[in-house]
Amino acid sequence: MLSVGYQFISRDLPAKSIVLPVTDGRSLKTYTLVRGELWDFPFDGGKVKAVRYYKTTSRGDTTTFEIWFSEKDHIPLRSVIGLNAQYGATIQVDLKKIPTL
């Protein structure tokens, strides 16, 4: 799941929803990530314009997944993985500094 964010570095972000194969380490699944809003994302003591993509949940699949890309270079600033109700845990990974490309 964490590799999803690196597919778009310096490439165009999809303007609409995207369908991607992902793995949770146990199985291969297909996630539809919906393009969300453009935000002023708090980052490294300032604000960066970022686009959010998120997975919708359903009764049969309560896992959540969202990723925030910087508008400029499409660097993944934050990834959030919400495990299903059985585990009740959320993993959040935040980039600390945008690398020079």
The Cα 16–Cα 91 span in angstroms is: 25
How would you classify residue 85: left for phi > 0, otherwise alpha for psi between -120 and 50, otherwise beta?
A: alpha
List of residues 6+ apart from 41 with CB closer than 8 A: 47, 48, 49, 50, 68, 70, 77, 78
Query: How confident is the model at residue 11, as a pLDDT?
Result: 87
Position 34 scores a pLDDT of 96
The tens-digit pLDDT sequence of the chain (101 residues) is 767 888 888 889 999 999 988 887 788 888 899 999 999 988 888 999 999 999 988 888 788 899 999 998 899 999 998 887 777 889 999 999 877 76
pTM (2 decimals)? 0.83
Nearest 5°: CA angle at 11, between 15 and 70?
Answer: 75
CA atoms of 87 and 100, how far apart (whole Å): 37
Place of tokens 């990723």: 67
